[in-house]
Amino acid sequence: MTHPELQVSQWFNTTNDISLKGLAGKVIALEVFQMLCPGCVRHGLPLAQKIATTFPQEKVAVLGLHSVFEHHNAMTPVSLQAFLHEYQIDFPVGVDEAGKGNIPKTMEAFQLRGTPSLLLFDTAGRLRAHHLGNLSELALGAEIATLLSEGAANETQAEGMGARSECNAEGCMI
Amino acid sequence: MTHPELQVSQWFNTTNDISLKGLAGKVIALEVFQMLCPGCVRHGLPLAQKIATTFPQEKVAVLGLHSVFEHHNAMTPVSLQAFLHEYQIDFPVGVDEAGKGNIPKTMEAFQLRGTPSLLLFDTAGRLRAHHLGNLSELALGAEIATLLSEGAANETQAEGMGARSECNAEGCMI
Amino acid sequence: MTHPELQVSQWFNTTNDISLKGLAGKVIALEVFQMLCPGCVRHGLPLAQKIATTFPQEKVAVLGLHSVFEHHNAMTPVSLQAFLHEYQIDFPVGVDEAGKGNIPKTMEAFQLRGTPSLLLFDTAGRLRAHHLGNLSELALGAEIATLLSEGAANETQAEGMGARSECNAEGCMI
Amino acid sequence: MTHPELQVSQWFNTTNDISLKGLAGKVIALEVFQMLCPGCVRHGLPLAQKIATTFPQEKVAVLGLHSVFEHHNAMTPVSLQAFLHEYQIDFPVGVDEAGKGNIPKTMEAFQLRGTPSLLLFDTAGRLRAHHLGNLSELALGAEIATLLSEGAANETQAEGMGARSECNAEGCMI
């Protein structure tokens, strides 16, 4: 895995300990948002919800990451919890761990430039797409399916070859 | 005035002390909302913003009232202030004063059933319409203009008659 | 009446002979469109349909005028009839009479610049508003209600005065 | 090829003779519509246009088929040509050949139940999906990309095997 891991202080909508590494084998759609960001509420989060209902859970994992970089007092975990309830967001959402300045740790590690950001990871755990702002659903659907197809092809290939020796606990290398 | 007055613990976007009574002479559009209510964010508040930009301020006063009846810890004045900033809401917004139970005082006094609620008051200070939920813009535009026209007609009539003796400090009676 | 009259070669959705003059006493909303104009299909005609369902028929008359100024062979009355059926447009629609050039007669007489155009006439038959393109529903609802209020005020005034001698077959003068 | 071929009396937006067979090797998205069908104008055709701009032309061919089964006099090729111009539809559109009754020949051969219908063919020329009515863009994007991935996998496999002997002039069999 050539990219950072999630650094989360608290999870909602899950009792599991979630990591990108632990989801290897699935395509991951990571929606990075702030609850008071209008573009996140209008576009980013509804799109993440559609991904969750369109693709089977065992193939595509949808995660939210609440990366607050402004108005920190206004977007506390208490407010976030009510927000998730009211907007009926039921996929796992992590609170990005506070950093030294305004930018939380995961956001800084991935060098994200704002919210909403949508990150796509392939079944081998590699970061494959990074979108900021509003997206074409048609193009996004195609991107996710392409990553799924690659994963299926890899599995078939691996089965044929007997082993995927290039994959280790950190993920899979090219 | 045959209806209750606003009971507000804190105002945003204004330095004035605002009351329904004090706005007599104007049509008042009062948008009652909660910052984490999806219908308020999608429909109610954008409609209130359109009213504010469509009608002249000296004729139609647009007010917001933050009437929190659930998730009180999540929708504090600190969170509301950031919300108003992020959603670029610049008309005056009052925080409905906490009541004994979950329902805040103004909401209880007006017997409102939920959010978003839009209340319209005529130029004589009478409550003339009370809408819950999503609205037709065309019909609402007509309602506001009708109240404005009545106000103008009353003024003309009053000028002709010399005085509007039925109006006192409390407002005007039918 | 200081503006031109409709020049129509054929009416749909009515068996009456319709004229602006004949509708004096009502506010008239005249939607000028072409059946193959995307802006008319997306915005203009749906708005005219909303006017028809929002305001009472005895107060606001909604009319369509099919003013074809391009692709004349493609937008014949036969095609228009099927179009009105498919789009469920049930207010009266007239076919603007062919002119010498590409521009039909009513369109030329009113000096319209394109479609969709929405013309509003007050209860005294005067042309009061002329909109080209997409419109704010809130503002339009207010415009129509203002014209209705003026009409009501005129009636009240006229009743008080005993007669509306200033109205003749051509409409009503101030 | 286990499905019927297009039966077209006239093509617009192309000077080539187009057939499903001739497009083997590409994924084909065939949008079946009527120019006066509101659902086609609102959803079906805009979606076909998005497919055309989202996927590369050398991989995904977008075709329109004007399958008129009602109001035949109203939706003639002359009217269709103006419609395509006004709605800026620039992918190839064929006129489904008139049948003995109201249903045109291709529509009948494919046993389509209405418009808009979207048919997807894989790179081997097989009919793989048949949608009637409004569609999820996210799901459709995924479907198209999946067909593209299969095609790519087949090519790789075929290259490895030396030949795709199961493909003949009629297309490719499983």
Does the model's pTM come out above 0.95?
Answer: no
Nearest 10 degrees: Cα torsion B88, B90, B92, B95: 20
Q: Is D148–A148 a contact, with Cβ atoms under 8 angstroms apart?
A: no
Count CA atoms closer than 13 A to D171's CA, side-chain side.
22
pLDDT for residue D24? 93
A102 touches chain B (CB under 8 A): no
Q: Which residues of B touch C136 (CB under 8 A)?
A: 50, 54, 137
pLDDT for residue C17? 86
Cα(A87)–Cα(C137) distance, integer angstroms: 28
- Enumerate residues 6+ apart whose C-beta is below 8 A from B11: B17, B18, B92, B93, B94, B95
Chain D, nearest residue to C80 by Cα: D74
**Mean pLDDT, rounded, of chain D:** 89
Angle, helix A137-161 to helix D45-54, in steps of 10 degrees: 50
Beta-strand relationship, B8-12 and B93-96 = antiparallel
- Give CA separation, C65 vs A169, B173, C18, C94, C115, in Å: 71, 46, 12, 5, 10
> Chains B/D: 3 or more C-beta pairs closer than 8 A?
no
Q: Is D142–A50 a contact, with Cβ atoms under 8 angstroms apart?
A: no
Angle, helix D45-54 to helix D137-161, in steps of 10 degrees: 40
B22 touches chain C (CB under 8 A): no
pLDDT for residue D82? 97
**Mean pLDDT, rounded, of chain B:** 89
For residue C99, the 8-state DSSP code is -
- Enumerate residues 6+ apart whose C-beta is below 8 A from C15: none
- In this predicted model, which residue has the larger pLDDT, C88 or D17? C88
**Residues A12-27, buried b or exposed e (16+ Cβ, 10 A)?**
beeeeebebeebbbbb
pLDDT for residue A167? 24
The 10s digit of each residue's pLDDT in B15-25 is 988 999 999 99
pLDDT for residue C153? 77
pLDDT band, residue B142 (cuts 50/70/90): very high
- Give CA separation, D146 vs A29, A47, A71, B61, D140, in Å: 18, 20, 42, 55, 10
Q: Are A115 and A32 in contact (CB under 8 A)?
A: yes
Q: Which residues share a beta bridge with D120?
A: D29, D129
Q: Which residues of D touch C79 (CB under 8 A)?
A: 36, 73-76, 79
Please compute the mean of the pLDDT values over residues D44-61 and round it to a whole number. 98
- A149-153, A155-159, C119-123 — which is least confidently predicted? A155-159
The 10s digit of each residue's pLDDT in D135-147 is 999 999 999 999 9
D81 touches chain A (CB under 8 A): no
Cα(B44)–Cα(B131) distance, integer angstroms: 10
Chain B, nearest residue to C151 by Cα: B149
Tell me whether residue D163 is exposed, middle or buried, using C-beta atoms within 10 angstroms of its C-beta: 0 to 12, 13 to 18, 19 or more: exposed
Nearest 10 degrees: Cα torsion D42, D48, D52, D58: -170
B43 touches chain A (CB under 8 A): no
pLDDT for residue A161? 39
pLDDT band, residue A162 (cuts 50/70/90): very low
Cα(D109)–Cα(A125) distance, integer angstroms: 46
Per-residue pLDDT tens listing for chain C (174 residues):
679 999 999 999 999 889 999 999 999 999 999 999 999 999 999 999 999 999 999 999 999 999 999 999 999 999 999 999 999 999 999 999 999 999 999 999 999 999 999 999 999 999 999 999 989 999 999 999 999 999 887 766 544 433 332 222 232 221
ipTM of the complex: 0.85
Cα(A6)–Cα(A94) distance, integer angstroms: 9
Gap from C58 CA to chain D (nearest CA, Å): 30
Q: Which residues of C touch B56 (CB under 8 A)?
A: none
